Amino acid sequence: MNAVESLDAALACGADMIGLVFFPRSPRHVSVAAAKGLRQHVRGRAEVVALTVDADDALIDAICAEVRPDWLQLHGQESGGRLAALRARCRVRSMKALGIAAAADLAAAAAFTAADRLLLDAKPPQDATRPGGNGARFDWRLIAAAELPPFMLSGGLTAANVAEAIAEVGGHGSFVGVDVSSGVEAAPGVKDPVLIEAFIRAARSARPMRKDKVA
């Protein structure tokens, strides 16, 4: 989120988490100063997630001191050790994003036992200029048999497909929720209140598929 209007739309619909992107190449990038204002606007009505990509200690310290996020979401090549160090340094919960294209990609989860949560996202397309927020999805069926810690699902979700995604993945014992960016935008970096409301409504009314029922 990079605008008060988008925040208000998401909060009015009961969003649990608000993401702030600290990555200058992203159309969603916010400065630490702007993020501080957005964070204050949230006023505890949702958890605030700071998205970073291989951020150095100086940026992490600035984010943690000024924005005081509830979560750090790591989208770069951070190791499990780096995640654990940041978690302790910033005293916030941590979420590691993993790009998934094949079942083998889920094995990367083993390196992040210190993470409070994983974000399972699509691998970025080859011509992508950022590691996340590309509107690309992956085959959700890859998750079904995987042993995973608590995770959120993301990548190419929209109001039109989020119910299908939750039907497929929501029965997994470690599924916590969904995350969206492009699917609620009118243009890259421009969130659309109507799409936000449609997405949250569709996600909240979705039900996991009953795997024990055979038609």
Ligand X SMILES: O=C(O)c1ccccc1NCC(=O)[C@H](O)[C@H](O)COP(=O)(O)O
Two structure tokens written together for 30 = 């916010």
Q: Answer yes or no: are the C-beta atoms of 41 and 11 closer than 8 Å.
A: no
Q: Considering beta carbons, is residue 60 or 215 the nearer one to ligand X?
A: 60
Picking from 134, 113, 112, 108, the residue whose alpha carbon sits closest to that of residue 123 is 134
Q: How far is the CB of 133 from ligand X (least distance, A)?
A: 2
Two structure tokens written together for 125 = 């397309």
Amino acid making up residue 60: I
Q: Considering beta carbons, is residue 2 or 172 the nearer one to ligand X?
A: 2
Cα 188 from Cα 190, distance rounded (Å): 6
Shortest-Cβ-distance residue relative to ligand X: 133
Residues that bind ligand X (CB under 6 A): 19, 21, 23, 26, 28, 51, 53, 75, 121, 130-136, 154-157, 179-183
Q: How far is the CB of 172 from ligand X (least distance, A)?
A: 18
Q: Considering beta carbons, is residue 92 or 214 the nearer one to ligand X?
A: 92
Q: Considering beta carbons, is residue 90 or 152 the nearer one to ligand X?
A: 152
Q: How far is the CB of 27 from ligand X (least distance, A)?
A: 7
Cα 10 from Cα 198, distance rounded (Å): 10
Q: How far is the CB of 207 from ligand X (least distance, A)?
A: 21
Q: At what angle do helices 32-42 and 4-12 cross, to 10 degrees?
A: 30
